Amino acid sequence: MGKVATADSPLSPLQQRFVEAMLSNGGNGTQAVIAAGSSTKYPASYASQLLRKPHVRKALQLEAVETLRTRMLIKALAQMDKLIEADSESVAFHASKDVMDRAGFRAPERSDVQVQGEIRIDLRAPVVELGDGTHGLSIDERGAGLKLALPPIPTPQAPTIDTENVTDLDEVDTTTK
């Protein structure tokens, strides 16, 4: 008795040519058997047999996905190239930015820092201060002494429930202490 093929079995050269022919002719199994070079007198029957084999079906699926990816990639790149060359500067800019982003060349994220308080510059003193005196930024005359003092960030606390002397659930105090 012959060896049973599994989904992971390798394809024979004829089976590989059959898979390639199926993809190139649009899925006609009979024509694919003939194009693969089989000498069978019944190509439709042989195509049906081949398509029932798990490793042939798996190879067809993998090749179809790879072919689709390749075709779509080529079309997508051609479309992006058209957009980059577009007359509209906005379209060209966004297409170029998208290509650069997808290639891994991203601009660093910007962040805004806001400091509340006052700015004091005393021209007689060799120090510039920004802030409220306790929190802020100060720089000495040479620019060598830089001090940044920020207020501590409060940590949120879970609400507490005071259940002492409660007779009705509507009276429960859930304020944060």
pLDDT (tens place) for every residue of the chain, 177 residues total: 455 566 688 999 999 999 999 999 988 999 999 999 999 999 999 999 999 999 999 999 999 888 888 888 888 888 888 988 988 988 888 888 888 888 888 777 777 767 666 666 555 555 555 555 555 555 555 555 555 555 665 655 655 555 555 555 555 455 554
Alpha carbon 89 to chain centroid, angstroms: 26
Look at the chain and count its residues.
177
- Residue 134 has a CB neighbour count (10 Å cut-off) of 8
Which pairs with CB-CB distance under 8 Å and at least 24 residues apart come from 117-125? Answer: none
Task: Indicate the CATH number for domain 13-79.
Answer: 1.10.10.1400
Distances in Å between the Cα of 25 and the Cα atoms of 4, 8, 18, 28, 147 are 28, 25, 10, 6, 73
Q: What angle do CA 63, 4, 54 make, to 5 degrees?
A: 25
| pLDDT value of residue 163 | 55
Amino acid at position 41, single letter: K
| pLDDT value of residue 43 | 94
- Cross-strand pairs, 140: 127
Asked if 118 and 132 count as a contact pair (C-beta separation under 8 A), the reply is yes
Comparing CA positions, the residue from 15, 18, 41, 13 lying closest to residue 28 is 18
Asked if 137 and 120 count as a contact pair (C-beta separation under 8 A), the reply is no
pLDDT in tens, 40-82: 999 999 999 999 999 999 999 999 888 888 888 888 888 888 9
- What single DSSP character describes residue 88? -
| pLDDT value of residue 56 | 93
- Residue 35 has a CB neighbour count (10 Å cut-off) of 17
| pLDDT value of residue 1 | 45
pTM for this model (two decimals): 0.45
Asked if 163 and 173 count as a contact pair (C-beta separation under 8 A), the reply is no
| pLDDT value of residue 5 | 62
Residues forming CATH 1.10.10.1400 domain(s) in the chain: 13-79
